[in-house]
Amino acid sequence: MDAYEVVKQVKKALGDKRMCKYGLSFEEREGKIAVVGKVDTIESLKKIKKVAHNFDNVYVKVHALEKDVPDSHRWAIVISPTSDVKVEANFRARNVHQLIFGEVVKVLNFWGDYTLAKDSRTDFVGWMRTSTLVFSNEVSLKKWRSSGTYVVIDKRFSKSNLNGSDLHLPFGVKVPANEKGRFWISTLPNGHVLRLKKSDASPCNSKRLDDMFNVWKEFLGTPYLWGGTSSYGYDCSGYVGRLYDYIGMRISRDSDLQSETTVSIKESELEFGDFVFFPGHVAMYIGKGSIVHANLFYNCVSISQLLEPTNSYEKSLRERVTKFGRLIEDDL
């Protein structure tokens, strides 16, 4: 086997670089091929070794970044309303994703004021401000996750309190909490206490598609934000992804990945909650021929008439449809 074939199979095993951080070289030495470099997680390293195991002339000298992280910092929880995920450890770097309060990441590395992390929900990897995170070992994280009933914020924003400081938390924030009077109380692994109004949140396990039908309108007019996944600002895939996360259905981060993980349906089969895909864009079908989407044309979340266009923008959308898709819960 030549080096080209090894490169091909290793990259296929690791998958999309948005969800796997690695830097590898492939060196031919005395009839053998060495895979050398670094990869994000132990799980990714196992994938490389599995490929190498299939061939006699391939060996692996790859280090998993997560092995260098102290046990006390292996995991982190977002403790700010939002935390941007960037391509580089620089505040001027491009945002590729965003997490909200309570979401969990696997920690991979540190550089200056930034932490390289892997999102537990979407698997996206990028650099986050360290100041927006609280760190934990695996035991403490599991204890926190099982410390109460998981509740989710139903409102566009909820004025909450974390250890004495007010926070305006966005829709979709999920935390394990216990009832205390008029509040949900969640105690983070570092001992900080979140106080959330009971009227602003409800148990996650009660959510269904009908609940998404009741909330999507709340975000009409929300600004378009590249990489945004919160009611402070959405991009197209961030908007539909957050709505589906609200009802407990996991979905990929970007529109191309969402297209790959949905089944194709016919236009005549469209129902509320189905996906409409375009080149580099996604919208959600809301019935009566209409879609809702975070778009740059209006620079916000808005409704467009797709099946019977009323203006040139809607006509261009209709012409550029690449797929009608549906997320099947049983396949998740």
For domain 147-206, give the CATH number: 2.30.30.40
How confident is the model over 37-60, as pLDDT tens digits? 999 999 999 999 999 998 889 999
Q: Strands 125-129 and 133-136: what pairing?
A: unpaired
Report, in angstroms and rounded to the nearest whole number, the Rg of the chain calculated over CA atoms.
Answer: 22
φ/ψ region of 162 (left if φ > 0, alpha if ψ in -120 to 50, else beta) reads beta
Residue 69 has pLDDT above 50, yes or no: yes
Whether 275 contacts 282, CB under 8 Å: yes
Tell me which H or E stretch contains 319: helix 312-319
Residue 317 has pLDDT above 90, yes or no: yes
In whole angstroms, what is the distance from residue 285 CA to residue 188 CA?
37
Q: Which residues of 82-107 are buried (b: 16+ CB within 10 A; e: fewer)?
A: bbbbbeebeeeeeebbbbbbbbbbbb
Tell me which H or E stretch contains 237: helix 236-246
Residue 331 has pLDDT above 50, yes or no: no
Whether 86 contacts 127, CB under 8 Å: yes
Q: Which residue has the tokens 């979407």?
A: 122
Residue 290 has pLDDT above 60, yes or no: yes
In whole angstroms, what is the distance from residue 197 CA to residue 115 CA?
31
Q: How far is CA 23 from the centre of its chain?
A: 22
Cα angle, residue 257 at apex, residues 36 and 152 outer, rounded to 5°: 110
The CA dihedral of 167, 168, 173, 176, to the nearest 10 degrees, is: 40
Farthest CA pair distance, the chain: 72
For domain 71-140, give the CATH number: 2.30.30.40
How confident is the model over 132-190, as pLDDT tens digits? 999 999 999 999 999 999 999 999 999 999 999 999 999 999 999 999 999 999 999 99
Quick one: pLDDT at residue 2? 72
DSSP state of 291: E
| 322 three-state secondary structure | coil
Quick one: pLDDT at residue 332? 40
* 97-120: average pLDDT: 98
Residue 11 has pLDDT above 60, yes or no: yes
Quick one: pLDDT at residue 1? 54
Average pLDDT taken over every residue of the chain: 96
For domain 209-331, give the CATH number: 3.90.1720.10
Active-site option among 20, 97, 236, 300 = 236
Cα angle, residue 281 at apex, residues 313 and 283 outer, rounded to 5°: 75
For domain 3-65, give the CATH number: 3.30.1340
**Is 293 annotated in the active site?**
yes
* 282-293: average pLDDT: 98
For residue 4, name the pLDDT band (cuts at 50, 70, 90). confident
Whether 198 contacts 217, CB under 8 Å: no
Question: What are the C-alpha distances in Å from 15 to residues 8, 33, 157, 264?
Answer: 11, 21, 36, 23
> Are 71-140 and 147-206 the same fold in CATH?
yes
Whether 232 contacts 81, CB under 8 Å: yes
Active-site option among 20, 97, 293, 300 = 293
**Is 236 annotated in the active site?**
yes
* 218-223: average pLDDT: 98
In whole angstroms, what is the distance from residue 82 CA to residue 100 CA?
4
Per the model's pLDDT, the better-predicted residue between 3 and 223 turns out to be 223
Quick one: pLDDT at residue 328? 85
Question: Which amino acid is it at 122?
Answer: T
The proportion of the chain whose per-residue pLDDT surpasses 70, expressed as a percent, equals 98
Q: Strands 174-180 and 149-153: what pairing?
A: antiparallel
Q: Please give the structure tokens belonging to residue 64.
A: 């998993």
This prediction has a pTM of 0.95
Listed residue (187, 185, 177, 332) closest to 245, CA to CA: 332
Q: Which residue has the tokens 């778009």?
A: 295
Residues 6+ apart with CB under 8 A from 250: 121, 244, 332
Please report, for the chain, the start and end positions of each structural domain, with discontinuous segments joined by +: 3-65, 71-140, 147-206, 209-331
* 80-95: average pLDDT: 97
Quick one: pLDDT at residue 298? 98
Active-site option among 20, 97, 281, 300 = 281
Residues 6+ apart with CB under 8 A from 206: none
Residue 237 has pLDDT above 70, yes or no: yes
The proportion of the chain whose per-residue pLDDT surpasses 90, expressed as a percent, equals 94
